[in-house]
Amino acid sequence: MIIDCHYHLDERLLKMDELISRMDAAGVDKTALMAPMVEPFKEPSPLLVSLLLYFLTHKSLRGIGKSLVANFDENGDIMILGKRSRIDKDPDNTLVFDAVRRYPDRFVGWIFVNPRGKNNPLRVYEQWKGTPGVIGIKAHSFWHHFSPVELAPVAHELAKTGKPLLIHVGFGEEGNFYSLLDQVPNLKLILAHAGFPVYRDTWKMIKDKKQVYVDLSQTSYVNNGITREVVAYLGVERCLFGTDGPFGFSASDHRFDYGFIRRRIERLFPDTGVQKRLLGQNFADLAGIKTA
């Protein structure tokens, strides 16, 4: 079974019927949905993406990379290529679990929380935790501007279930997930985008933390080299296929190319056993998804 562990359900960019059609075309059996959190924006060009990754993956140039991706206005909204896109401080989980209810064979769902939003993460978790198809909690400390340790109360509750937390960390205190693990050492943690934004430094920190995983999602944050390196460094069992759709490189019709990252993984790792682990089995085992 091929499972995408990281997809934002945003029908402004890709309608439900289009999403399912593209999943079918890419051979993706099941997708883990999360709520949309940002207004649609224009994707950067492959050239800009390659420059960004060059800056972020070289310590001496990381400040330049940060200046390119950490541009926020006075309201906390993101500036991408000079244009403002509003960030939703309380992403709507109803959209996700409506889709899971309608298509239980194709979708599972993350509960999106934000400790700096209006809705208390514990109450949000309590509201949704018993819903069929729930696989864990999603958080975005980078764009929601908080330290991961602020998730400790809800992370304690989540850890009791054995379900994972998927988090997109940022720079400085917004990337300090180590303090969260100090408080909740048995938490199963997935770091989005191969440990963005400091990559190798993060890999070194989590090398011996077997309950910490990375996903391989997003074309702006993860390239061939990063994919190859992180799998070699952490091991096949701790890396997960994800897309971060509907954001990423476009297909010939100028819409999201759902198969891009799957093709990358299959090209870089021709061993079918490795492909099976990366493309679905690892996440199925982690999230408790039945594959038969």
pLDDT score for 159: 97
Is the model's pLDDT at 30 over the cut of 90?
yes
Amino acid (one-letter) located at 251? A
Q: What is the mean pLDDT of residues 127-143?
A: 97
User: Could you state, in order of their start, the residue ranges of all structural domains in the chain?
Assistant: 3-287
pLDDT in tens, 90-128: 999 999 999 999 999 999 999 999 999 999 999 999 999
Residue 132 in this model has a pLDDT that exceeds 80 = yes
> Model confidence at 54, in pLDDT bands (50, 70, 90)?
very high
pTM of the model: 0.97
**Confidence (pLDDT) at 204:** 98
pLDDT digits (tens, 9 = 90+) for 219-234: 999 999 999 999 999 9
Q: Which amino acid is at 83?
A: K
The sign of the dihedral angle between the CA atoms of 114, 218, 164, 292 is: positive
- The whole-number pLDDT of residue 41 equals 87
pLDDT, residue 81, reads 84
- Predicted confidence (pLDDT) at residue 135 exceeds the cutoff of 90: yes
Q: Does domain 3-287 have CATH number 3.20.20.140?
A: yes
Q: Quick one: pLDDT band at residue 290, thresholds 50, 70, 90? A: confident
What does the pLDDT read at residue 34?
A: 98
The chain-wide mean pLDDT, for the chain, equals: 96
pLDDT band of 88, cuts 50, 70, 90:
very high
Q: Which of 34-38, 81-85, 96-100 has the lowest mean pLDDT?
A: 81-85
